[in-house]
Structure 1
Amino acid sequence: MNTTISNSVLTASIKHAGAELFSLKNNQDKEFIWDGNPDFWSKHSPILFPIVGTLKNNTYTINEKEYQLPRHGFARDMEFQLIEKTGNSAVFSLESNAETLKKYPFEFELQLIYTLENTSLKIEYIVINKGESKMPFSIGAHPAIALRENFENYAFKFEKEEPLKFNLLENDLISNKTETLKTINNVVPLNYKLFENDAIVFKTLESNSLIILENSKPYIQVDFEDFPSLGIWTKNQAPFVCIEPWFGYSDTAGNSGNLFEKEGVIILEIDQNFHSQFSIKIL
């Protein structure tokens, strides 16, 4: 099943499977989200929960008991329930069940709220701890922005002038090796060589937003003020780029395996809620 919301300038469509955004169009029918061509990547904008990235050996421990989770967790592969809808907004919910408890021994509710506001799509995450213990988790976004021109015709303009130091991945884990993106007036021209080593992972950034430039003109702005980390990713020769606001990231090689000790993890108290949001603005 799919749900569609709209306002006077934008239309967004969301799959109930994974509560995944798969279309964002303007009123000229121009599409801004990657179409999911499996020759490159079959997803569009998956939710990353209850982990972001990869665990060492795909394994973690809670109270010395081992559990396994695949890369980016399980929420993106599960059916969400539509619990509220208006013309320009929709709320989806995923609750823990017998299946999730085998992989992740915590009772929770995860809500995704999509709201169209003028030329922006706001995406909110609410995580509710419904269990009787503290709950460790990470959460992140993975929207793939469609690029219709040649990849080299695009660039990123970061909000602030800063050293864009990022950590390199080794075997899908965060290494201690870092590199710095070269900028000219906060602008990074795009080319596929930037992604030879998979995703670019910023553990921290001063910028709270970036603009994708198309032929030097503003195309899309992604605002991620609530999120401390950011991933940027594409596949070689693919006509999209993913701008990924994150809480958390892959394990480091020296990680203990205890999920409560994982770098970047959120610890949610009993009966408490977590809330964050980001937005995609068409320029």
Structure 2
Amino acid sequence: MIVTISNSQLSATISTLGAELISLVKNNKNYIWQVDETYWNKTSPVLFPIVGRLKNDSFTYNGNSYQLPRHGFARNMEFSFEKRSDSQVIFELNETEESKVNYPFDFKLFLAYTLMNNELVIEYFVRNQSDDELLFSIGAHPAFAIEGNFENHSLQFNNSDIFETNHLENESFNDKRTLVETENNTIQLNYSLFDKDALVFKHLKSNEVNLKYQDKNILKVNFDNFPYLGIWTKQNAPFLCIEPWSGLADNGNHNGNLEDKEGINHLPAGEDFLRAIRIEVLE
């Protein structure tokens, strides 16, 4: 089912399958890319309860072994929803007997989509429903439509940073890092940046990034309190993913224990976790 919210400036559509953002429209222009399976079959999947790929697609917890696919299962599950107003909808997902076969935790996952003026605010809320700590990762993966020449686009960050990307090899980190060339905290885009998968930044001071076409601001993504940021596209694809993460793919040397996973969140029993991204349309 597709749910629509709107205000005087924007409208957004979200699917109950995966609580996935399908469109974000202003003045008849959609800022979310439309699926072309030649390149990719998603628009903005929710990454939960892991981000990226586990080593051997598995983890161990309390002496037992479990299997999880890349980015977890939430993106392929049907969410329930409550439309609070014309401009807000809240989606909910709970553990099931099926999910506990591969992820032995009790949880509630809420996603709230709220339009405020020219912004879409997406809140990621996790509640630990169990008597033990909840171990999880969560991340955003919105794909923004790129019109015109990809290389005329750039990403401008709001702080002076060392833009050191962490290399992925077969979707696992390999401890190699390189500096991405920047000028005035701006990365000029070209497809060769993604020859070895995503750019992954672990230690940014920035919490906002503008997507620009030449000197024109298109949109801004605020990712305050997300410790990691991924940037990704496919060769010649007309989209760019800006991905705030609270979690990471495994390192190739990881021992497999979920408790020891880099970037994993340890949420105590009965407690809540909240993060939000803000997508501001600037045109």
Quick check: TM above 0.5?
yes
Q: Secondary structure at the match of 1:231?
A: strand
Instruction: Tell me which residue corresponds to 1:108.
Output: 107
Instruction: Tell me which residue corresponds to 2:34.
Output: 35
**C-alpha separation in 2, matches of 1:4 and 1:215:** 32
Question: Alignment length, in residue pairs?
Answer: 282
Instruction: Tell me which residue corresponds to 1:231.
Output: 230
* Contact residue 158 and residue 211 of structure 1 kept, 8 A: yes
* Contact residue 166 and residue 180 of structure 1 kept, 8 A: yes
Q: CA deviation at 1:18?
A: 0.2
Structure 1 runs of 4+ aligned residues shifted over 6 Å read none
**C-alpha separation in 2, matches of 1:198 and 1:30:** 29
Deviation digits for residues 174-204 of structure 1 (CA, Å, limit 9, x no counterpart): 1210011111111111000000001111112
- Counterpart residue identity of residue 139, structure 2: G
Deviation digits for residues 217-248 of structure 1 (CA, Å, limit 9, x no counterpart): 11110000120000000000000000000011
Deviation digits for residues 146-200 of structure 1 (CA, Å, limit 9, x no counterpart): 0111101100101111110110001110121001111111111100000000111
Whether 1:11 and 2:11 are equivalent positions in the alignment is yes
Instruction: Tell me which residue corresponds to 1:172.
Output: 171
Matches within 5 A, 1:172-251: 172-251=171-250
- Counterpart residue identity of residue 265, structure 1: I
Instruction: Tell me which residue corresponds to 1:99.
Output: 98
Q: TM-score, normalised by structure 2?
A: 0.98
Matches within 5 A, 1:56-135: 56-135=55-134
Deviation digits for residues 23-76 of structure 1 (CA, Å, limit 9, x no counterpart): 0000x2001001011111110000000000000000100111000000000000
- Which structure 1 segments of 5+ residues have no match? none
Q: CA deviation at 1:104?
A: 0.2
Deviation digits for residues 76-128 of structure 1 (CA, Å, limit 9, x no counterpart): 00000013431100000000011110010001010000000111100000001
Q: CA deviation at 1:254?
A: 1.5
**C-alpha separation in 2, matches of 1:116 and 1:274:** 22
Instruction: Tell me which residue corresponds to 1:21.
Output: 21
Whether 1:260 and 2:259 are equivalent positions in the alignment is yes
**C-alpha separation in 2, matches of 1:88 and 1:183:** 38
Q: CA deviation at 1:215?
A: 1.9
- Counterpart residue identity of residue 23, structure 1: S
Matches within 5 A, 1:138-157: 138-157=137-156
**C-alpha separation in 2, matches of 1:21 and 1:150:** 25
The percentage of aligned residue pairs carrying the same residue is 46
**C-alpha separation in 1, matches of 2:106 and 2:184:** 47
- Counterpart residue identity of residue 89, structure 1: Q
**C-alpha separation in 2, matches of 1:174 and 1:115:** 34
- Counterpart residue identity of residue 169, structure 1: L
**C-alpha separation in 2, matches of 1:114 and 1:125:** 9
Instruction: Tell me which residue corresponds to 2:275.
Output: 276
